[in-house]
Amino acid sequence: MSTAPRLVVHRDKELMARAAAARLITAVVDAQSARGSASVVLTGGRNGNGLLAALAAAPARDAVDWKRVDLWWGDERFLPEGDPERNVTQAREALLDAVPLDPERVHAMPASDGPHGDDVDTAAAAYAQELARAAGPGGHGAVPEFDVLMLGVGPDTHVASLFPELPAVRETERTVVGVRDAPKPPPTRVSLTLPAIRAAREVWLLAAGEDKAEAAAVALSGAGEIQAPAAGARGRERTVWLLDAAAASRVPPSLLPAVSP
């Protein structure tokens, strides 16, 4: 079981993105050195895409052997392939098209015009099967050994597409679920569940901006995961909250480190 979350606070969202990108490069290089490859779960949204763009601009990105990186997603908007709102579309634009990845190791979640059609539950089950196939012997449950799993934190404390009080956040068995009636558009999504998230070695939660301040404070102050899904997101070995000063502004002072320069 992981220990209490570690908080890292940066002056602004730009600095946070650059620092998080550097942290990810280090984590991937370390994983490749230790185990030969690295497995990373990406997140969408402005902070996830900001991190990817910062990584694309970082000279140290070439320290990574991109051919030995497996990429997964924490959630996806269930829209047609290539839709500009899909997380994978945005990730390709921000970083993936600029680095020499092995296409077989880029595990995008299904699109609504894919082989499963518009059946989001079948699409979610198919992604769960893909995760299970990649889970080696001795793995933690039916998912691979994720080295780093990143999540953006929403103003309502949602992570991935696990929204407060909705059925998906209550899931205890399946690793991937279809989400309907999400309170932010689009309403239909595919999402990892908390059990899948908690199988990761490290979980990083990204929050920047004044609109995330209340969510960070609630999730870090002992709220239940059904009411505040971000409170239930933790890694097996380490949980890190990466915040800018605005997002950290309401976190109890006893939990805060000194603000980074």
With 70 as the cut, is the pLDDT of residue 247 above it? Answer: yes
With 60 as the cut, is the pLDDT of residue 139 above it? Answer: no
Residue 39 placed within a domain? yes
pLDDT of residue 235: 97
Residue 31 placed within a domain? yes
**Residues 200-214: pLDDT tens digits?**
999 999 999 999 999
Residue 59 placed within a domain? yes
Q: Read off the pLDDT of each residue in 210-221 and give the average, rounded to a whole number.
A: 97
- Give CA–CA dist 221/223, Å, rounded: 6
Which amino acid is residue 154, in one-letter code? Answer: G
**Residues 70-80: pLDDT tens digits?**
999 999 999 99
Domain hosting 30: range is 6-252
Higher pLDDT, 39 or 258: 39
Judge whether 79 and 186 are in contact, CB under 8 Å: yes
Residue 221 placed within a domain? yes
Taking phi over 0 as left and psi of -120 to 50 as alpha, with beta for the rest, 97 belongs to alpha
Number of domains into which the chain is organized: 1
User: In whole angstroms, what separates CA 123 from the centre of its chain?
Assistant: 19
Judge whether 15 and 211 are in contact, CB under 8 Å: no
Judge whether 179 and 189 are in contact, CB under 8 Å: yes
User: Against a cut of 0.85, is the pTM above it?
Assistant: yes
Judge whether 72 and 89 are in contact, CB under 8 Å: no
Q: Read off the pLDDT of each residue in 122-141 and give the average, rounded to a whole number.
A: 86
- Give CA–CA dist 24/15, Å, rounded: 14
Q: What is the CATH number of the domain that holds 143?
A: 3.40.50.1360
Residue 211 placed within a domain? yes
Higher pLDDT, 259 or 223: 223
Residue 258 placed within a domain? no
Residue 175 placed within a domain? yes
State whether residue 134 is helix, strand or coil.
helix
Residue 34 placed within a domain? yes
pLDDT of residue 255: 86
Q: Read off the pLDDT of each residue in 27-51 and give the average, rounded to a whole number.
A: 97
Q: Read off the pLDDT of each residue in 170-178 and give the average, rounded to a whole number.
A: 97
Is the bond into 186 cis (omega within 30 degrees of 0)? Answer: yes
Q: What band does 258 get if pLDDT is binned at 50, 70 and 90?
A: low
With 60 as the cut, is the pLDDT of residue 259 above it? Answer: no
Q: What percent of the chain has pLDDT over 90?
A: 91
With 50 as the cut, is the pLDDT of residue 37 above it? Answer: yes
- Give CA–CA dist 109/254, Å, rounded: 39
